[in-house]
Amino acid sequence: MFRHPVRNIIIIIVLILAAVIGTVNYMVNTSTKKQLYYDAATIPKNKVGLLLGTAKYNDKGRNIINLYYQNRIDAAVALYMAGKIDYIIVSGDSNTVYYNEPVLMKNDLIARGVPANRIYIDNAGFRTLDSILRCRDIFGEDHFTIISQAFHNQRALYIANHKNITAIAFCAKDGDNVWFSYIRDKFARVKMIYDLVQNTQARYYGERVQIK
């Protein structure tokens, strides 16, 4: 064992990391499974749905639609049309005029029949944590329905549960590169635990917005 100290250290680090990821993943999955819904007919009604953002396109030429994005739009429309939410907050990244997730989501929701006055924009949803906290602290909602893919919803719900927010989640269909997204989310969950322990706040807050 002592002939290869560097290799042994690497092995130990990998094993510890795997144990941490596995433990966090188990906690998140088991604590949120009863809050996940897959059928618009059976999910309870909430006033507000929080639609979490992602890139609309998979390529810089904007020719290939990101199925994660498209399926989230489909899920939000399904909930609204089923009368299971009255308003939708579109929350995402809006770093530049050329990249604005909330505006794209709003436009696509309107094109699918959701009235513009039923959609509110959160331009500072840079991370899932930001979106959850801003929904509570800026929009004044502490009971709402999160809309994203199941693996993402689990992380969002875990945050909400630890921030005294009553939330449920509607799970959109997955997109492409499912395994890559799953693995990336596993590491994001470890970062989430760190943020919760550190009581990390949203990057930006600002004036309150009343949803009528």
| CATH code for position 78 | 3.40.50.620
Residue with tokens 């690497």: 10
Per-residue pLDDT of the chain (212 residues; tens, 9 = 90+): 456 778 878 888 888 888 888 899 999 999 999 999 999 999 999 999 999 999 999 877 778 899 999 999 999 999 999 999 999 999 998 876 557 899 999 999 999 999 999 999 999 999 999 999 999 999 999 999 999 999 999 999 999 999 999 999 999 999 887 888 888 999 999 999 999 999 999 999 999 999 98
- The whole-angstrom separation of Cα 27 and Cα 92 is 26
Q: Is 2 domain-assigned?
A: no
Determine the pLDDT at residue 181.
Answer: 86
Q: Is 207 domain-assigned?
A: no
- Could you give the C-alpha distances from 178 to 152, 181, 185, in angstroms and in order? 12, 5, 11
Domain membership of residue 76 as a residue range: 9-198
Q: Is 110 domain-assigned?
A: yes
Q: Is 55 domain-assigned?
A: yes
- The answer to whether the beta carbons of residues 51 and 90 sit under 8 Å apart is yes
Q: Is 212 domain-assigned?
A: no
Determine the pLDDT at residue 96.
Answer: 61
Q: Is 49 domain-assigned?
A: yes
- The whole-angstrom separation of Cα 171 and Cα 83 is 16
- The whole-angstrom separation of Cα 75 and Cα 163 is 25
Determine the pLDDT at residue 1.
Answer: 47
Q: Is 209 domain-assigned?
A: no
Determine the pLDDT at residue 97.
Answer: 55
β-partners of residue 134 are: none
Count: domains in the chain: 1
Q: Is 211 domain-assigned?
A: no
Query: What is the edge-to-edge ordering of all strands in the sheet holding 85-91?
Result: 36-37, 166-172, 143-149, 46-52, 85-91, 119-122
